Amino acid sequence: MICGVGALGSTAVHYCRNLDAELRVVDFDRVESKNLAAQWFVKQSVGKNKAEAIRLQLANFYGAKAEAMGVRLAATNAAQLLADCALAVDCFDNADSRIALADAARTAGVPLVHAALAGDGMFGIVRWDERFVADREDVAGQATCEGGEHLPMIGLVGATLARAIQDFVRAGDRRDYMISLSGVVRTT
């Protein structure tokens, strides 16, 4: 289950389209035209719910299946959304949602991997929950990369996350990575 399909989540889910697994995508938000510069959405998706847009793009462009959940994940519904999940993936853009997902995943015993990006678009991490602590924004609701200036780094972090997901699904590996302009380094 991929939670949050903005910049990192939408990129990672497209790199997981060949995975021998059922993908569930969770996001309450809608695609806006400004998202096209930094997120893996196409013009025809503007106005649609992001989870539904991902489902349609995977089906129409790649013949891949996904389940779309167009809701906001919260403490009240997290357990229900996580039902039957073998893996949860956190690509949220705020600490509160990351913490709500982590609490629910720990309670349900569902493995959880997080991906996160610095505001300057020059650094990111992919880290499993047992070693992850959510960083808070400097200002609540702080936006990043609406103009697409960080798109190459988003692609790099999203692809690294997809690799971590694939390694887990195929072999149960839980590898952490740190991504900077210097390269991608495995940290555990």
Partner 1 sequence: MAILNITYQGQSADYELELDFAASDDDIRRIAVEVVRSGGVRGLHVAQLSPRAFDDFVIDRLRGTDGAQRIYLRPKVPFGA
Rule CB under 8 A: which residues touch partner 1? 4-9, 27, 29, 90-95, 98, 114-120, 122-125, 131, 133-138, 142, 144-145, 176, 178, 180-183, 185-188
Task: Please report how close the Cβ of residue 120 comes to partner 1 at its closest, in angstroms.
Answer: 7
Strand boundaries in the chain, DSSP class E: 2-3, 23-26, 66-69, 88-90, 112-117, 123-128, 177-180, 183-186
Comparing CA positions, the residue from 11, 14, 24 lying closest to residue 60 is: 14
**Closer residue to partner 1, CB minimum distance, 45 or 63:** 45
Tokens of 151: 């798109």
Could you tell me which residues are beta bridge partners of residue 127?
A: 114
Task: Please report how close the Cβ of residue 71 comes to partner 1 at its closest, in angstroms.
Answer: 14
**Closer residue to partner 1, CB minimum distance, 7 or 100:** 7
CA 171 – CA 35 distance, rounded (Å): 34
121 alpha carbon, distance to own chain's centre: 16
**Closer residue to partner 1, CB minimum distance, 83 or 181:** 181
Task: Please report how close the Cβ of residue 183 comes to partner 1 at its closest, in angstroms.
Answer: 8
**Closer residue to partner 1, CB minimum distance, 63 or 101:** 101
Task: Please report how close the Cβ of residue 25 comes to partner 1 at its closest, in angstroms.
Answer: 12
Q: Tokens 């509160």 — which residue?
A: 96
Task: Please report how close the Cβ of residue 63 comes to partner 1 at its closest, in angstroms.
Answer: 26
CA 182 – CA 175 distance, rounded (Å): 19
**Closer residue to partner 1, CB minimum distance, 109 or 121:** 121
CA 188 – CA 40 distance, rounded (Å): 29
